[in-house]
Amino acid sequence: MRVTSALEAPVAHGRIASPSYQWIDCPICESSDALKRLDVLSDGHGVVRCGRCGMLFLNPHYDADSLDRFYAPKEISVERVWGLPFDARSFDVAAYDRSGTARDMRRRLALVQKHVPRGRLLDVGCSIGLLLFEAQRAGYEAVGLDLSAKLAAYAREVVKVDARVGSLETLSATLGRFDAIVLWDVLEHLPFPGFTLSLINTHLEPGGCLFVHIPNANGLGNAWKTWASERGLRAPEKRWSHFGIPFHLMWFTPATARRLVEKLGYEWVEHGAWSHLRKEAAPGLAKQLANWPLEKSVRTSYFWFVVRKVAEPPAHRLVLPEALRV
C-alpha cells in the first residue's frame, strides 16, 4: 500500500497552532511502496509499518518547523540538579558520584572503553555533559553537541566540559574525526536516521565505533501495546501512547537497526539491553529476578548496540534531505 494520499481522519491540532506535516519513505528501504498504514490519529499523525523490512514509524509526522514549535517550551524544563536549583550553576560532584545517574554514565562509558579504550569521543545530544565529564575523567578527548543552548551552557560553564550548541549537521565542518561517537536516546527523534548515521560515519576514524541507545519496538511491553493498538483494544487516549508521539518518529528493533546500519558502511558488533531498574539505588530481589530474563533476551523497553566503521557510507545517503535544508 503506497501511503501518499491525504489523511482520511479529522485533525485536531492539539498542543500547537496549525501544525504542518511531512511524508517520508521507509528509512531502510528508501521507498514508500511497501508501507502499510496501521492507524491515523486524531492529531494528524499516522503510524505505518514497512512490509519489506518491518520498520515501524510515524508517517506523516510534524515537519521540522512544527517540531521546533512543539519542542520550544521544553527548553526551560530543567529546574533542579541533585537538589540544587539549576540557576545556582553549581555541580556537586560528591552528590553526583552517589547518584544512580553516575552509575548509569559509568556503565555507558564502560561499554565505550570495552571497544575504544582511548582517543577522541563525540557525544551527540550531550545534555548537561555528564558523559563528557566521565569521559574526561577516563582520559578521553571528549566533545559534546546539544540543540539546547541552556543545557550546553551549563555543561560548558558548570560541569567544565567541551559542549557546543547546534546539530551535527550544522557543526559538522568544525568537528573532525573521532574514535568513538555516542548517540544515546537520539536516533528515535530523527526523521532521516539514514542521513544522520551516514554523516556520523564520515566523522569516525576507520575502525572507530558508534554506540546507540534507542527504544525497543520488540520490548515485551511495547510489542504487546503495539499489538493491542493495531486491533483497537486500547482506550483511545492510550492507543500508541508507548510510541512517544510526537517526539519519537522511529521505532526500531535490533533487527531493523541492524539492517539500516549495515547498509551504511558499519559492521554490527554487539547489542544488549539495560533496564531502568539499574538506576534504582536498591532494587528489590523480586524486581531483579523478574527483570533478568528481559535483559538477557533484549525484550526491555530500550536496547543498545555497537557498530564499527568498515566502509564509507553510500554517497546518496550524504545528500542533505530537502526538509533539512535552510
Give the CATH number, domain containing residue 172: 3.40.50.150
Three cell numbers, residue 213: 541507545
**CA dist., res. 303 & res. 188, Å (int):** 12
Judge contact between 181 and 200, C-beta under 8 A: yes
Residue 295 lies in a domain: yes
The cell for 34 is 511497501
- Domains in the chain: how many in total? 1
Of the listed ranges 62-76, 125-139, 295-309, the least confidently predicted one is 62-76
Per-residue pLDDT tens digits for 309-323: 999 999 999 999 988
Q: Is residue 8 part of a domain?
A: no
Q: Give the pLDDT score at 283.
A: 62
H helix or E strand, kind and range, residue 257? helix 254-262
Confidence (pLDDT) at 12:
41
| The pLDDT of residue 192 | 96
Domain for residue 1, yes or no?
no
In a domain, 58, yes or no: no
Domain annotation covers residue 3: no
Any idea which residue has 535483559 for its cell?
295
pLDDT tens for each residue of 100-120: 889 899 999 999 999 999 999
Please report the pLDDT score of residue 77 as a whole number: 59
For residue 246, being part of any structural domain is answered with no
CA distance readout (Å), 21 to 61, 309, 314, 321, 325 = 5, 34, 28, 15, 16
Report the percentage of the chain scoring pLDDT > 90: 72
| Of residues 243, 137, 119, the one with CA closest to residue 182 | 119
Separation CA 281–CA 277 (nearest Å): 9
Does residue 2 carry a pLDDT above 80? Answer: no
User: What range defines the domain where residue 314 resides?
Assistant: 95-216+252-324
Q: Per-residue pLDDT averaged across 150-169, rounded?
A: 95
Is 116 within 8 Å of 179 (Cβ atoms)? yes
pTM of the model: 0.91
- Residue 183 covered by a domain: yes
User: Is 79 domain-assigned?
Assistant: no
